[in-house]
Protein backbone atom coordinates (compact mmCIF):
# COMPACT_ATOMS: atom_id res chain seq x y z
CA UNK A 1 0.00 0.00 0.00
CA UNK A 2 1.16 3.56 -0.74
CA UNK A 3 -0.34 4.90 2.45
CA UNK A 4 2.18 4.41 5.23
CA UNK A 5 2.07 6.54 8.31
CA UNK A 6 4.73 9.22 8.56
CA UNK A 7 5.61 7.88 11.99
CA UNK A 8 6.35 4.39 10.64
CA UNK A 9 8.43 5.77 7.77
CA UNK A 10 10.50 7.89 10.14
CA UNK A 11 11.01 4.97 12.52
CA UNK A 12 12.23 2.80 9.67
CA UNK A 13 14.88 5.27 8.61
CA UNK A 14 15.97 5.93 12.20
CA UNK A 15 16.54 2.19 12.58
CA UNK A 16 18.52 2.22 9.32
CA UNK A 17 20.83 4.91 10.62
CA UNK A 18 21.33 3.16 13.96
CA UNK A 19 22.26 -0.05 12.15
CA UNK A 20 24.66 1.79 9.86
CA UNK A 21 26.38 3.65 12.67
CA UNK A 22 26.84 0.44 14.65
CA UNK A 23 28.01 -1.55 11.64
CA UNK A 24 31.65 -1.04 12.66
CA UNK A 25 31.03 -3.36 15.64
CA UNK A 26 30.37 -6.38 13.46
CA UNK A 27 32.04 -5.72 10.10
CA UNK A 28 35.08 -7.81 9.36
CA UNK A 29 37.21 -5.02 7.89
CA UNK A 30 40.96 -4.66 8.13
CA UNK A 31 42.27 -1.47 9.65
CA UNK A 32 43.26 0.85 6.82
CA UNK A 33 45.13 4.09 6.38
CA UNK A 34 43.06 7.09 7.48
CA UNK A 35 44.49 9.09 4.58
CA UNK A 36 43.41 6.42 2.09
CA UNK A 37 39.93 6.32 3.65
CA UNK A 38 39.63 10.10 3.25
CA UNK A 39 40.44 9.79 -0.47
CA UNK A 40 38.19 6.77 -1.13
CA UNK A 41 35.20 8.09 0.85
CA UNK A 42 34.48 10.78 -1.75
CA UNK A 43 33.81 13.28 1.04
CA UNK A 44 36.75 15.59 0.24
CA UNK A 45 36.40 17.19 -3.23
CA UNK A 46 40.14 18.05 -3.24
CA UNK A 47 41.02 14.30 -3.26
CA UNK A 48 40.85 12.84 -6.77
CA UNK A 49 40.10 9.16 -7.38
CA UNK A 50 38.27 6.92 -9.86
CA UNK A 51 35.09 5.33 -8.52
CA UNK A 52 31.64 4.07 -9.36
CA UNK A 53 28.72 4.57 -6.99
CA UNK A 54 25.02 3.94 -6.64
CA UNK A 55 22.55 5.62 -4.27
CA UNK A 56 18.85 5.52 -3.47
CA UNK A 57 17.40 8.86 -2.37
CA UNK A 58 14.02 9.08 -0.67
CA UNK A 59 12.35 12.50 -0.21
CA UNK A 60 9.60 12.40 2.42
CA UNK A 61 7.24 15.31 1.66
CA UNK A 62 4.07 16.77 3.13
CA UNK A 63 0.55 15.55 2.23
CA UNK A 64 1.77 11.96 1.72
CA UNK A 65 3.83 12.98 -1.34
CA UNK A 66 7.19 11.33 -2.00
CA UNK A 67 9.93 10.88 -4.56
CA UNK A 68 12.51 8.12 -4.94
CA UNK A 69 15.66 8.65 -6.97
CA UNK A 70 18.03 5.97 -8.27
CA UNK A 71 21.33 7.69 -8.98
CA UNK A 72 24.50 6.33 -10.56
CA UNK A 73 27.83 8.15 -10.22
CA UNK A 74 30.74 7.36 -12.55
CA UNK A 75 33.96 9.27 -11.78
CA UNK A 76 37.27 9.06 -13.64
CA UNK A 77 40.29 10.53 -11.84
CA UNK A 78 43.42 11.45 -13.84
CA UNK A 79 46.25 13.03 -11.85
CA UNK A 80 44.52 16.03 -10.22
CA UNK A 81 41.60 16.06 -12.68
CA UNK A 82 38.31 14.22 -12.33
CA UNK A 83 35.38 13.83 -14.71
CA UNK A 84 31.99 12.54 -13.57
CA UNK A 85 28.59 11.73 -15.01
CA UNK A 86 25.45 11.17 -12.92
CA UNK A 87 22.42 9.65 -14.67
CA UNK A 88 19.23 9.40 -12.62
CA UNK A 89 15.89 7.56 -12.71
CA UNK A 90 13.13 9.25 -10.69
CA UNK A 91 9.87 7.87 -9.27
CA UNK A 92 7.22 10.36 -8.11
CA UNK A 93 4.08 9.96 -6.02
CA UNK A 94 1.85 13.06 -5.89
CA UNK A 95 -0.28 11.95 -2.94
CA UNK A 96 -3.36 11.20 -5.08
CA UNK A 97 -5.09 7.97 -3.98
CA UNK A 98 -5.10 5.29 -6.65
CA UNK A 99 -2.53 6.97 -8.90
CA UNK A 100 0.59 5.23 -7.59
CA UNK A 101 4.14 6.12 -8.64
CA UNK A 102 5.17 7.43 -12.06
CA UNK A 103 8.76 6.79 -13.17
CA UNK A 104 11.05 8.28 -15.80
CA UNK A 105 14.54 9.50 -16.58
CA UNK A 106 15.54 12.70 -14.79
CA UNK A 107 18.28 15.15 -15.81
CA UNK A 108 21.89 14.01 -16.17
CA UNK A 109 24.79 15.85 -14.57
CA UNK A 110 28.33 16.12 -15.94
CA UNK A 111 31.15 17.66 -13.91
CA UNK A 112 34.83 18.53 -14.26
CA UNK A 113 37.09 19.15 -11.27
CA UNK A 114 40.74 20.17 -10.89
CA UNK A 115 42.54 20.02 -7.53
CA UNK A 116 44.99 22.72 -8.56
CA UNK A 117 46.68 23.17 -5.19
CA UNK A 118 47.40 20.46 -2.61
CA UNK A 119 49.63 21.41 0.32
CA UNK A 120 50.41 19.77 3.66
CA UNK A 121 47.47 21.42 5.42
CA UNK A 122 45.49 23.29 2.78
CA UNK A 123 44.06 22.28 -0.59
CA UNK A 124 42.04 24.03 -3.30
CA UNK A 125 39.90 22.60 -6.08
CA UNK A 126 37.86 24.29 -8.78
CA UNK A 127 34.96 22.59 -10.51
CA UNK A 128 31.94 23.09 -12.72
CA UNK A 129 28.86 20.88 -12.94
CA UNK A 130 26.51 21.00 -15.92
CA UNK A 131 22.86 19.98 -15.61
CA UNK A 132 21.71 18.39 -18.88
CA UNK A 133 17.88 18.60 -19.17
CA UNK A 134 17.22 15.07 -20.41
CA UNK A 135 14.12 14.53 -18.26
CA UNK A 136 10.69 15.60 -19.47
CA UNK A 137 8.65 18.25 -17.66
CA UNK A 138 7.43 15.82 -14.99
CA UNK A 139 10.86 14.47 -14.06
CA UNK A 140 13.41 17.11 -15.11
CA UNK A 141 14.20 20.73 -14.28
CA UNK A 142 14.01 21.94 -17.92
CA UNK A 143 17.18 23.99 -17.35
CA UNK A 144 20.53 23.58 -19.09
CA UNK A 145 22.58 25.06 -16.28
CA UNK A 146 26.10 25.36 -14.89
CA UNK A 147 27.30 25.36 -11.28
CA UNK A 148 30.92 26.49 -10.85
CA UNK A 149 32.39 25.90 -7.38
CA UNK A 150 35.57 26.49 -5.41
CA UNK A 151 36.51 24.15 -2.55
CA UNK A 152 38.99 24.95 0.22
CA UNK A 153 39.89 22.21 2.69
CA UNK A 154 42.07 22.46 5.77
CA UNK A 155 43.56 19.41 7.48
CA UNK A 156 43.50 19.77 11.28
CA UNK A 157 45.16 16.38 11.77
CA UNK A 158 45.38 13.11 9.85
CA UNK A 159 41.84 12.09 10.83
CA UNK A 160 40.02 15.44 10.88
CA UNK A 161 39.48 18.15 8.29
CA UNK A 162 37.14 21.06 7.59
CA UNK A 163 36.12 22.50 4.23
CA UNK A 164 34.03 25.22 2.64
CA UNK A 165 32.62 25.18 -0.88
CA UNK A 166 30.77 28.18 -2.33
CA UNK A 167 28.95 27.41 -5.59
CA UNK A 168 26.70 29.41 -7.89
CA UNK A 169 24.05 27.95 -10.23
CA UNK A 170 22.79 29.78 -13.32
CA UNK A 171 21.01 28.80 -16.53
CA UNK A 172 22.73 28.56 -19.91
CA UNK A 173 19.51 27.82 -21.81
CA UNK A 174 15.84 27.60 -20.80
CA UNK A 175 12.27 28.20 -21.89
CA UNK A 176 11.55 31.95 -21.90
CA UNK A 177 8.53 31.39 -19.65
CA UNK A 178 10.66 29.75 -16.93
CA UNK A 179 12.08 32.01 -14.17
CA UNK A 180 15.77 32.83 -14.12
CA UNK A 181 18.05 30.45 -12.24
CA UNK A 182 20.32 32.29 -9.82
CA UNK A 183 21.21 30.33 -6.68
CA UNK A 184 24.18 30.69 -4.33
CA UNK A 185 25.00 27.69 -2.15
CA UNK A 186 27.70 27.55 0.51
CA UNK A 187 28.57 24.08 1.77
CA UNK A 188 30.48 23.85 5.05
CA UNK A 189 31.55 20.51 6.44
CA UNK A 190 33.70 18.88 9.05
CA UNK A 191 34.72 15.23 8.65
CA UNK A 192 36.20 12.71 11.07
CA UNK A 193 37.84 9.44 9.92
CA UNK A 194 38.78 6.48 12.11
CA UNK A 195 41.26 3.65 11.67
CA UNK A 196 38.41 1.14 11.92
CA UNK A 197 37.14 2.47 8.58
CA UNK A 198 34.20 4.53 9.84
CA UNK A 199 33.79 8.20 8.96
CA UNK A 200 31.40 10.89 10.16
CA UNK A 201 30.54 14.15 8.42
CA UNK A 202 28.43 17.11 9.52
CA UNK A 203 27.39 19.54 6.78
CA UNK A 204 25.32 22.71 7.23
CA UNK A 205 24.45 24.11 3.79
CA UNK A 206 23.27 27.69 3.27
CA UNK A 207 21.26 28.40 0.10
CA UNK A 208 20.05 31.73 -1.26
CA UNK A 209 17.77 31.94 -4.30
CA UNK A 210 18.19 35.44 -5.79
CA UNK A 211 15.17 35.07 -8.08
CA UNK A 212 12.75 33.98 -5.36
CA UNK A 213 14.57 36.04 -2.70
CA UNK A 214 14.50 33.04 -0.39
CA UNK A 215 17.06 31.73 2.11
CA UNK A 216 17.32 28.11 3.20
CA UNK A 217 19.56 26.24 5.60
CA UNK A 218 19.89 22.46 5.26
CA UNK A 219 21.50 20.32 7.96
CA UNK A 220 23.07 17.05 6.82
CA UNK A 221 24.62 14.33 9.04
CA UNK A 222 26.56 11.66 7.11
CA UNK A 223 27.85 8.27 8.26
CA UNK A 224 30.07 6.01 6.18
CA UNK A 225 31.89 2.71 6.56
CA UNK A 226 34.71 1.15 4.56
CA UNK A 227 33.87 -2.44 3.67
CA UNK A 228 37.35 -3.22 2.32
CA UNK A 229 38.62 -3.71 -1.24
CA UNK A 230 37.74 -0.09 -2.08
CA UNK A 231 34.04 -0.41 -1.19
CA UNK A 232 32.27 2.11 1.06
CA UNK A 233 28.74 2.14 2.46
CA UNK A 234 27.32 5.64 3.02
CA UNK A 235 24.09 6.91 4.59
CA UNK A 236 22.91 10.47 5.11
CA UNK A 237 19.99 12.73 5.89
CA UNK A 238 19.23 16.27 4.67
CA UNK A 239 16.93 18.23 6.95
CA UNK A 240 15.68 21.66 5.76
CA UNK A 241 15.22 24.13 8.60
CA UNK A 242 12.58 26.05 6.61
CA UNK A 243 9.11 24.54 7.05
CA UNK A 244 8.00 25.37 3.51
CA UNK A 245 11.10 23.65 2.09
CA UNK A 246 10.42 20.58 4.25
CA UNK A 247 6.88 20.44 2.84
CA UNK A 248 7.84 20.85 -0.85
CA UNK A 249 11.35 19.37 -1.16
CA UNK A 250 10.98 17.03 1.78
CA UNK A 251 13.44 15.49 4.21
CA UNK A 252 16.01 13.40 2.35
CA UNK A 253 17.11 9.92 3.42
CA UNK A 254 19.89 8.42 1.34
CA UNK A 255 21.76 5.11 1.34
CA UNK A 256 24.38 4.02 -1.18
CA UNK A 257 27.81 2.59 -1.85
CA UNK A 258 30.85 3.27 -3.98
CA UNK A 259 33.73 1.23 -5.33
CA UNK A 260 37.15 2.83 -5.79
CA UNK A 261 39.68 1.84 -8.43
Whole-model pTM: value is 0.85
Chain segment 152-211, per-residue pLDDT in tens: 999 999 999 999 999 999 999 999 999 999 999 999 999 999 999 999 999 999 999 999
Q: What is the pLDDT of residue 258?
A: 97
Q: What is the pLDDT of residue 52?
A: 97
Q: What is the pLDDT of residue 16?
A: 53
Residues 6+ positions from 177 with CB-CB distance below 8 Å: none
Chain segment 137-154, per-residue pLDDT in tens: 999 999 999 999 999 999
Q: What is the pLDDT of residue 14?
A: 53
Residue 88 covered by a domain = no
CA torsion, ordered 137, 87, 210, 176, to nearest 10 deg: -40
Q: Where residue 230 sits, what CATH number does that domain have? A: 2.40.160
Residues 6+ positions from 216 with CB-CB distance below 8 Å: 206, 207, 208, 209, 240, 241, 242, 245
Residue 52 covered by a domain = yes
Q: What is the pLDDT of residue 184?
A: 98
Collapsing DSSP states into helix, strand and coil, what is residue 212? coil
Question: How many Å apart are CA 191 and CA 196, to the nearest integer?
Answer: 15
Residue 58 covered by a domain = yes
Residue 83 covered by a domain = no
Residue 131 covered by a domain = no
Q: What is the pLDDT of residue 10?
A: 55
Residues 6+ positions from 96 with CB-CB distance below 8 Å: none
HSE of 52 in the Cβ direction (CA atoms, 13 Å)?
1
Q: What are 89's strand-pairing partners?
A: 70, 105
Residue 133 covered by a domain = no
Q: Which domain holds residue 223?
A: 6-65+116-125+148-260
**How big is the CA angle at 58 (ends 53 and 62), to the nearest 5 degrees?**
160
Question: How many Å apart are CA 2 and CA 118, to the nearest integer?
Answer: 49
Collapsing DSSP states into helix, strand and coil, what is residue 28? coil
Domains identified in the chain, total number: 1
Consecutive 10-residue runs of the chain (261 residues): their mean pLDDT?
45 51 43 84 94 97 94 96 98 93 96 96 98 94 97 96 98 95 97 95 98 97 95 97 94 97 93
Residue 78 covered by a domain = no
Question: How many Å apart are CA 177 and CA 200, to the nearest integer?
Answer: 43
Q: What is the pLDDT of residue 32?
A: 56
Q: How far from 74 is each of 53, 60, 61, 195, CA to CA, in Å? A: 7, 26, 29, 27
Residue 209 covered by a domain = yes
Sign of CA dihedral 21, 25, 27, 33: positive
Question: How many Å apart are CA 201 and CA 204, to the nearest integer?
Answer: 10
Nearest Cα neighbor of 145 from 124, 171, 126 is 171
Amino acid sequence: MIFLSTQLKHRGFIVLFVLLSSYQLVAQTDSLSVDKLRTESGVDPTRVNSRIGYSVLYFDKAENKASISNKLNLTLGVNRWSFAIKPEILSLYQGVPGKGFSTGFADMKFSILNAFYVGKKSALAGSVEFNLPFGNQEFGTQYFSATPALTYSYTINTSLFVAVQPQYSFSLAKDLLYPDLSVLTVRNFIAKFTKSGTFYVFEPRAIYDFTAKKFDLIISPIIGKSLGAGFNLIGLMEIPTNQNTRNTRGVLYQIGFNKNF
